[in-house]
Amino acid sequence: MNEVWDSITTAQPDPSWKVVVATAAIAFLLIAWRPAWRHTRQVVTIAHEGAHGLIALLAGRQLAGIRLHSDTSGVTVSRGKPTGFGMIAVLLAGYPGPALFGLGAAVVLGQGYAVALLWGLLVALLILLLQIRNLFGLWSVVAFGTIVFVVSWWGSAAVQSAFAYLLTWFLLLAAPRAVVELQSSRRGGAGRSSDADQLRRLTSVPALLWVGVFGLVTLACLALGVVWSGVLSS
């Protein structure tokens, strides 16, 4: 445990530019290749619903539970005033959530704390697990957490760093695609209960503008993540 703590509190050397580029390429393939995306998108859903839950708590709402479904959709239920700033903030958090988590991870990686990032992620997943209210959601979080734990506990420093970069790239690159999928589903007549449409009903601002806000935030996080993670200097 002393060795683990030392690895968490000690900055690791920056990986080579080859590792950075390779992890970015792998993350892109996991997103762009549809057979892989059907499974890896669940990570985005975990981050999406986790963001809803986090903001619900910060806004003073009572978090009633989170459900993750096999079609990569999810539902976060919180109790409180159904209108007002708190509810708007909760709905706003979902689609930008994965990108903002990715940006935060990029900042941590830029400081060299890849191992601390992985263990911090494990703590976050453990807290999230306490709020899961269905079996598939339980399995999803446990499966993802197990992968992160195996790398964190048994992986070499090089493997841990590469995996941390892979996760960061994945969140930053996957968030814009999720927004594109949101608008595609809306254009096809589905998604009328989406975050954007619920925001329209609460604010009278067109849902398409909210989708645009989601897209701009995720793209801005991607651009900042590239800079803040130290990728350009690797």
Chain-wide mean pLDDT for the chain? Answer: 92
pLDDT at 8: 81
Q: In terms of DSSP bridges, do strands 62-68 and 74-79 run parallel, antiparallel, or are they unpaired?
A: antiparallel
Q: What is the pLDDT of residues 97-129, one digit of tens each?
A: 999 999 999 999 989 999 999 999 999 999 999
pTM of the model: 0.94
Q: What is the pLDDT of residues 57-88, one digit of tens each?
A: 999 999 999 999 999 999 999 999 988 999 99
Q: What is the pLDDT of residues 29-63, one digit of tens each?
A: 999 999 999 999 999 999 999 999 999 999 999 99
Q: What is the pLDDT of residues 131-171, one digit of tens each?
A: 999 999 999 999 999 999 999 999 999 999 999 999 999 99
